[in-house]
Amino acid sequence: MFSTGRQTCSRTFGLLRRLKSTLVIAEHNNEKLTPVTLNAVTAATKLGGEVSCLVLGSQCAKVAEEVSQIKGVSKVLLADSDVFKGFLPESITPFLLATQNQFNFSHILAPATAIGKNVMPRLAAKLDVSPISDIIGVKDDSTFVRTIYAGNAIQTLTSNEPVKVITVRGTAFEAAETGGSAATENVSADAVTNDLSDFVGQELSKSDRPELASAKTVVAGGRGMKNGDNFKLLYDLADKLKAAVGASRAAVDAGFVPNDMQVGQTGKIVAPELYIAVGISGAIQHLAGMKDSKVIVAINKDPEAPIFQVADYGLVQDLFKAVPEMTELVGK
Ligand SMILES: Cc1cc2nc3c(=O)[nH]c(=O)nc-3n(C[C@H](O)[C@H](O)[C@H](O)COP(=O)(O)OP(=O)(O)OC[C@H]3O[C@@H](n4cnc5c(N)ncnc54)[C@H](O)[C@@H]3O)c2cc1C
């Protein structure tokens, strides 16, 4: 039997595609998909090969439906069980291990969020491979780009691990589009038990403002805000701009605002179209979380503040004068 070069080539390509298969762990609240999953899917499509998406949770069929419409996803695995209440890593990890044994993925990806950062190192340890964390680029199926030293250096690494366990920095990849139609397969979680931890409950802060990590505009305040009450100035501006509100660690540590608002190396990484830094000096640990923003505006009364070095527009002024004036002018 003979085959032309082109046939052989396309068969080899087909085989390689089968050998490469990626699992993306979808993040959601059992009701709605967290947008950062779309960015992780884009990273997965850059690896070549099939992309499956795992939706695990309790009463989360609606999310599986949403995921099946993401372009680039060819299969949705749905694991719906009460054992996943609270998304405890002690329940998720054994399930992921069993799933990996069944499907033998070459790559397993999750967004680099609190859940991803909690689960993926455990999974990597159980698989006896090195995790590859917080990637900002995919060169090929083994070569990845990530930041080190709080974003001051870029590392390109090649991994020889048989399965690559990866967390993805959402802001570094475009969101995948919708319009797909993947099939959904149920995966049983009956064998999963968790004797290590129990989910008791959670209190989530509710906000009508956009989610900080995916907002198109972010207004952030620092120690210069002086106290928590003064953050009202930023909320008023944010409401007019349909923006999320963030904060520096100094503002969080001082108790002005809760820590889920922290932007930076040890907070959230954001890259909105517009970032307005108010009373923030621009320490490298803060810049690590926002310097990829498209347009940066800084308001600070100190002309020497390092934030002005990364700002596209800087206003040297007292924030208590500048912010109300800005709010007044927006939308006029
Ligand atoms: C391991 C580690 C991790 C860290 N992680 C983070 C992190 O994730 N995020 C983070 O933000 N920081 C982080 N930090 C802390 C960081 O080093 C800085 O201490 C912090 O970012 C400073 O916050 P700030 O700019 O609000 O405060 P400051 O540095 O005190 O700056 C306040 C600014 O407000 C200005 N100002 C004061 N009053 C006014 C006014 N009336 N009008 C206008 N401007 C005014 C001042 O001129 C000053 O520039 C980390 C530090 C370490 C060691």
For residue 282, the ligand 1 atom closest to its alpha carbon is: 25
- Mean pLDDT, the chain, as a whole number? 93
pLDDT tens-place string over residues 263-289: 999 999 999 999 999 999 999 999 999
Contacts of 64 (CB under 8 A, 6+ apart): 55, 76, 78, 184
Q: How high is the pLDDT of residue 224?
A: 98
Instruction: Compute CA distances 108 → 23, 105, 112, 167, whole Å.
Output: 5, 7, 12, 8
Residue pair 277/307 in contact (Cβ under 8 Å)? The answer is: yes
Q: Report the distance separating Cα 100 and Cα 83, nearest Å.
A: 18
Tokens linked to 24 = 């993306």
* CA-based nearest residue to 316, from 332, 296, 301, 328: 301
pLDDT tens-place string over residues 218-244: 999 999 999 999 999 999 999 999 999
Q: Report whether pLDDT(16) > 90.
A: no
Tokens linked to 309 = 């070095």
Query: Which of the 8 DSSP states describes residue 175?
Result: P
Instruction: Compute CA distances 265 → 49, 150, 290, whole Å.
Output: 32, 6, 9
Q: Report whether pLDDT(10) > 80.
A: no
Q: How high is the pLDDT of residue 3?
A: 40
Name the pLDDT band for 15 (thresholds 50, 70, 90): very low
Q: Report whether pLDDT(7) > 80.
A: no
Q: Report the distance separating Cα 314 and Cα 299, nearest Å.
A: 6
Report CA(39)–ligand 1 centroid distance (Å): 29
For residue 221, the ligand 1 atom closest to its alpha carbon is: 26
Report CA(77)–ligand 1 centroid distance (Å): 43
Q: Please state which of the ranges 87-96, 203-212, 314-323 shows the lowest mean pLDDT.
A: 203-212
Report CA(323)–ligand 1 centroid distance (Å): 18
Q: How high is the pLDDT of residue 203?
A: 86
For residue 266, the ligand 1 atom closest to its alpha carbon is: 8
| Of 223, 321, 325, best ligand 1 pocket probe by most atoms within 8 Å of the beta carbon | 223
| Residue whose CA is at the smallest distance from ligand 1 atom 4 | 285
Q: How high is the pLDDT of residue 284?
A: 95
Is the Cβ atom of 281 under 6 angstroms away from ligand 1?
yes
Residue with tokens 């008023």: 236
Residue pair 296/312 in contact (Cβ under 8 Å)? The answer is: yes
Is the Cβ atom of 320 under 6 angstroms away from ligand 1?
yes
| Of 286, 296, 307, 316, best ligand 1 pocket probe by most atoms within 8 Å of the beta carbon | 286
Question: Reduced to 3 states, what is the DSSP secondary structure of residue 18?
Answer: helix
Contacts of 201 (CB under 8 A, 6+ apart): none
Q: Report the distance separating Cα 273 and Cα 262, nearest Å.
A: 18
* CA-based nearest residue to 305, from 322, 284, 282: 282
Q: Please state which of the ranges 197-211, 223-237, 299-313, 315-329 shows the lowest mean pLDDT.
A: 197-211
Is the Cβ atom of 291 under 6 angstroms away from ligand 1?
no
Contacts of 291 (CB under 8 A, 6+ apart): 151, 310
Q: Report whether pLDDT(193) > 60.
A: yes
Residue pair 180/232 in contact (Cβ under 8 Å)? The answer is: no
pLDDT tens-place string over residues 97-122: 999 999 999 999 999 999 999 999 99
Is the Cβ atom of 264 under 6 angstroms away from ligand 1?
yes
Question: Reduced to 3 states, what is the DSSP secondary structure of residue 278?
Answer: strand
Name the pLDDT band for 300 (thresholds 50, 70, 90): very high
| Residue whose CA is at the smallest distance from ligand 1 atom 30 | 223
Domains and CATH numbers, the chain: 18-186 (3.40.50.620), 212-330 (3.40.50.1220)
